Structure 1
């Protein structure tokens, strides 16, 4: 077992130093022979044992005797530790690739590949303390009437539902990548606006009024709103400029924006969104999976098309959603 453990370690060290490459070759030869029940011609295990004992005996004769008597047992222990570490590291890499976290989907524990936890950050919408705050396991679209919300590519077989807000920085990271992904995959895309980082619902009312007049321009307006500075989202003057940029008459549109019926619709939509029990933006639903926080683009692509999504012609090179 010492040969196998040594092979794993020396193979890694050999990448960075030529000094260990010949030892790695000897270890490989020894492993192949041990697997086929043949003795090591190179005597690799004895050679390494002598080297190790030579270093240890200079420091402690007692430790050297203990090591000599229990070398095979310690080799087994070391092999199990190395094997366990390798399996755990491989698991972490796989989970990070498919979920954006080393610990699994929506897990906020420390991940060496995402040390700042950016893939799980959200804009919190909670109002005060709750006795039983919701978790990712509580999130659902059951009972939510999605027909109340704008949809892009309604004929798509698969669907991406994004709950976010125009002024939320984490939503801004993934809105464009998700919209592009939906277009590339022919999936339905719904954006459920829940105003958080604004003091009014002006942007939500503006978006509804534009959607009533021209669905294509609604999606163009979304691009404008997500590109705007957050403080502009409550500014009527900015809303007028955005309407003009879309080629719409603000005089007519302004009346719609101030219509109490439109405000009532926005309020009903917010109540509908609350049924999902979401607790922060962005929250993304794809099939039966829920993603809390701005995951890398590949994570959403895998949810749509499986682990080998890139075989379908879109490698996700435009954006990773970070």
Structure 2
């Protein structure tokens, strides 16, 4: 162990100072023999230990033996740290390649990936398991997560088709055109990065080139939802799709210029501001549910719905039918699309996790 640890340390020290490079060949020879379960045939280990322990032998001879033991323990720690660091680099690289984030459990913490709201993972982290003295669970969960990433590698090369993941009654921003390809985005109404993607889509004129639809996916949090009112807004979005005359895939006779009510609601949330310049999304995220309900119904009045129609929308939003639709959409996102970042958008044969730039949408 000591020879291997010494080689690791000398490798880094030799990179910055030539004086240590002459020891590398001996360290490498000793390391090769140790990893092949053979004893070292050089005095390298003893030479290094003597060099490190000599000052202690002069000043405090009684401390030589404890210091020698400490060096052996330190050598083990150096090796374990190096192995774990290498594993972390490999795992993070795979996650970045497959999911667009180096940390699946907290994608927002990875500066190398696209900006996004992370979907929390319920499985305890390695550190949390260790703190709870669950060593078996710590390593089991860690390698299970790595296995999931490796098994998801083929998805990176898959030809992603948005049409394969469309829920029933999908609503399109513009009238459905069979000549255009379909694009599907997964959004949380409360996620600020979803608002950013929405604005990029508008700026790029994305809906002129694709049949754009969406799945509203309220991100679950540790207690309820990550954004408190996302579920309520999603319920209203799904209820609007179910109203007679809603502009979904089956309404081929609708005026091409008509924007579906659910898309009008999304546009108001993602692009609108109050008289103080605060985005409506930020306001909704800070309101309680009665306030959000009142605001949504106020907007529906502005969109031209009668009080009776608004009451119907509210009843539908709270119905078991809408609850079932949201549950089915959740299954599509988590099991079929298997994203760990919101927003996610599928178009042009690829799944794009996180915010896509205007240039990336062109």
- What corresponds to 1:259 in structure 2? 319
Match of 2:118 among 120, 124, 136: 124
Shift in Å, 1:141: 5.4
- CA distance in 1: counterparts of 2:168 and 2:304, whole angstroms: 27
Distance 1:175 1:232, change over 3 A: farther
Q: Secondary structure at the match of 1:163?
A: strand
Shift in Å, 1:239: 2.3
Q: How does 1:4-15 map to 2 (within 5 A)?
A: none
Normalised to the residue count of structure 2, the TM-score between the two structures is: 0.46
Shift in Å, 1:119: 6.1
List runs of 5+ in structure 2 lacking aligned partners.
1-95, 103-109, 124-140, 220-225, 248-259, 273-279
Question: How many residues were matched structurally?
Answer: 193
- CA distance in 2: counterparts of 1:147 and 1:264, whole angstroms: 12
Q: Secondary structure at the match of 2:198?
A: helix
Shift in Å, 1:299: 1.1
Q: How does 1:147-186 map to 2 (within 5 A)?
A: 147-152=168-173, 153-155=175-177, 156-179=179-202, 181=204, 183=206, 185-186=208-209
- CA distance in 2: counterparts of 1:151 and 1:136, whole angstroms: 31
- CA distance in 2: counterparts of 1:202 and 1:243, whole angstroms: 15
Shift in Å, 1:136: 7.8
Distance 1:186 1:288, change over 3 A: closer
Shift in Å, 1:123: 0.8
Shift in Å, 1:232: 4.1
CA-to-aligned-CA distance 1:217-262 (integer Å, 9 cap, x gap): 2211111222422234843222222222222233232222222212
Distance 1:244 1:120, change over 3 A: same
Q: How does 1:225-244 map to 2 (within 5 A)?
A: 225-226=269-270, 227=272, 228=280, 229=282, 230-232=285-287, 234=289, 235-244=292-301
Distance 1:184 1:195, change over 3 A: closer
- CA distance in 1: counterparts of 2:348 and 2:299, whole angstroms: 34
Normalised to the residue count of structure 1, the TM-score between the two structures is: 0.52
RMSD: 3.1
Distance 1:177 1:202, change over 3 A: same
Contact 1:151 1:189 in 2 (8 A): yes
